[in-house]
Structure 1
């Protein structure tokens, strides 16, 4: 049963189809070979001469190897191998062959495909009719009334008895040849159509670039939306507690919530616009220290957090990229205070320039327990990523009863 499945199973049939496609692709090259062999051998009918057909086939295969240098050959052959030969898609290359080695392997594969395919396709055309004749020979002999003159060699009883067996054996041999040829091509395909080191490097670079974009978008979403949600949560909580006793504070909290959500929706639209295929990115500008540091401090103080800020650097003089990333770092530092220390603590923020570096320091007393999300999030990791991309350093941790975040960013660095 297993033997029959190997010869006639679904995979064997699909590989047989792949070989027949190779034979069909070989036909134009064989016809070109006949136009060369015919005049060279003074034969007017090379198509009717089997040895000349084989010679024409041999002449056509080098021509096939030359035409395999077209860019679409490897993608098309890889797709056919994937669907018909059952080869793992990850072991095949689907782009055009760029290097000399890749082109040589593609030419070798195309020649093998057309060579094996031409032979198996020719056998598939010639063998079944002959095998069918042998299987039906005893019936033909019995029904023959002189209408068909059989060769004298067939005028033996044992010949008629063995003819059906020989016919079935020939069909089985054809199936075995097709199965073996298909298995060999499937085995050789990864080596000849697989990705080269250059292809793997290009794919790795593309994945790294895509991952970098995804990580950047994730940081932007985390810093903007995470800070906004933390601030809005504390503002709403503080307003609810003093709803009856301090209407003025409630109005300020609601105004801060409105301002925070409006700005965050604009930033969210700008980030999500990059993710929408065919859509232009959002037009909301990325916040910077020069543009929104005062607003960030105002919205944070509206949460009840007491912020003492010392800005010894001119935000307008900072490079745009540095100002943007520094804003996100300050925003995330304040957001961490809101989430983990609560809204009734005093936080100290210092922004200064020392030794050609922008230094950002955020300090606050350690809270008894996290306020918003036990276990924390990815804020410190995002700060470290931003700092590393700018060529700076990050220090964060508890010391002497306070939590201290200290970031140093070069004024000019790898951005």
Structure 2
């Protein structure tokens, strides 16, 4: 059924919303707060003006009042260097001006440029706020008097002293429209001032390009840590669960006929889960504390490949492995990532019943080559949300500067990975590539 969108509001409706809508009222309150903040500075400016000009009552004339206001604003700009000024002003702008929180800075101004922009904002807020607040105090009573004046004059007769122009009937008839026009002009000034502040807030209170770059780098670092943890959990826990599932299923099928096989399957399940719990504790330790001292070291191709093959074979998968290099000679970083890549390849074969599996590990021309092949089996359907394993392999290979290819070839599934060895000899683990330790 086609959906019908509501018609756009007409121009008069938009104009009324701009002048008197909820956002306009909140911005008006924001301006009045600025006027209230300006009062102490105006009083300080009046004292300074009285000292230098000799005028005893600066509030007796409009020029003196404007002079006090002009002298007070620089004082306000100087006090805006207080560290809490920018956070408080940003909070007020978010709450009352309708500016997106992501466009405003949260912390205090630290650099000279930030302090300068904060001072400019504070001066603008107090300046516009003082003007609109003064108008809000003076215009409504005067406008109300103009609206009711045609009704009061006939009642009071000649007891009212009015300007000569109001002796004419047509002049009295124009007073109510003039009063209403003054109120509309006040609303327009308040709405325009609020819109101006909302437009200037991101430029004056927003983060600098350096702040945005630092925030982007922090988000990238956080994403790198999350991706690393996701890869570790997927490869270690995912492989273990696949193996345990197959072992438990095989044991259930021969529970009454082959007790010895069931005993071996249960022992394999126990060993797999115990090792996986240790790896999970290491990963969660990194998640909690950044590093987890005292936890089990990350598995590597040198020390854990034999155990991985043994557990995989115990799950019922036939694996033929040919290792044409000494894993102990590999750099620790390459050895660890190679172990996870082999583990993910075996996990895929377990999930999709692709056996037998042929694994070849060798070094050539300063690169470690991992090749894994297995027939394309009619294994279980892909689970919802799956398919992250090959992406994790690609991420690991990319971080080490290697290449990876995976896909069907001649009725078999083939995974081929090449990792540079010499480039990472003795290289420390970076934040992106470090595993649980």
Which of 387, 390, 413 does residue 403 from structure 1 map onto? 413
Counterpart pick for 1:32 among 36, 44, 60: 44
How do 1:274-313 and structure 2 match up within 5 A? 283-313=295-325
* Matched residue, 1:6: 18
Displacement of 1:275 in angstroms is 5.1
Indicate conservation of the 8 Å contact 2:376/2:413, yes or no. no
Structure 2 segments unaligned to the other structure (5+ residues)? 1-11, 431-437
Q: How does 1:146-185 map to 2 (within 5 A)?
A: 150-151=160-161, 153=163, 156=167, 158=169, 163-185=175-197
Match of 2:273 in 1: 261
Report the more deviating stretch, 173-182 or 402-411.
402-411
1:380 and 2:390 correspond? yes
- Structure 1 residues 198-209: aligned runs within 5 Å: 198-209=210-221
Distance 1:372 1:315, change over 3 A: farther
Aligned to 2:378: 369
Whole-angstrom distance in 1 between the partners of 2:18 and 2:381: 62
In 2 relative to 1, CA 257–373 (structure 1 residues): closer, same or farther, beyond 3 Å?
farther
Question: What's the offset of the Cα at 1:244?
Answer: 2.8
1:272 and 1:281 in contact (8 A); partners too: no
Contact 2:376 2:411 survives alignment (8 Å): no
Greater Cα offset, 171-180 or 184-193: 184-193
Q: Which residue does the alignment assign to 2:251?
A: 239
> 1-side partners of 2:359 and 2:43: how far apart?
83
Match of residue 42, structure 1, among 47, 54, 76: 54
Report the Cα offset of residue 300 of structure 1. Answer: 0.4
- CA–CA distance in 2 between the matches of 1:244 and 1:7? 83
Distance 1:143 1:275 in 2: 83
8 Å contact from structure 1 (residues 272, 282) kept in 2: no
SS of the residue 1:369 aligns to: coil
CA 341–278 in structure 1, closer or farther in 2 if over 3 Å, else same: closer
Change beyond 3 A, Cα 1:356–1:232 = same
Partners of 1:144 and 1:257 lie apart in 2 by 103
Contact 2:370 2:418 in 1 (8 A): yes
**Contact 2:282–2:292 (CA under 8 A) maintained in structure 1:** no
Secondary structure of the 2:119 match is helix
Offset at residue 208 of structure 1 (A): 1.6
Contact kept, 8 Å, 2:139 with 2:186, in 1: the verdict is yes
Unaligned runs of 5+ in 1: none
| Match for residue 356 of structure 2 among 334, 338, 346 | 346
SS of 1:397's equivalent?
strand
The alignment covers a number of residue pairs equal to 410
2:141 is aligned with 1:129 = yes
State which of 56, 65, 74 in structure 2 corresponds to 1:62: 74
CA 1:216–1:279 in 2, change beyond 3 Å: closer, same or farther? closer
Query: SS at 2:27's partner residue?
Result: helix
Output the CA distance in 1 between the equivalents of 2:91 and 2:360: 60
- How far apart in 1 are the matches of 2:179 and 2:409? 90
Local SS of the residue matching 1:305: coil
Correspondence 1:295-334 to 2 at 5 A: 295-334=307-346
- 2:64 matches 1:52: yes
How far apart, CA to CA, are the structure 1 residues paired with 2:264 and 2:167?
113
**Secondary structure at 2:67 match in 1:** helix
SS for the counterpart of 1:363 is strand
Deviates more, 1:47-56 or 1:87-96: 87-96
Give 1:220 deviation, angstroms. 1.5
- Distance in 2 (alpha carbons) for counterparts of 1:367 and 1:170: 82
Please give the alpha-carbon distance, in whole angstroms, between the structure 2 residues aligned to 1:381 and 1:348: 22
Q: Displacement, 1:386?
A: 0.6
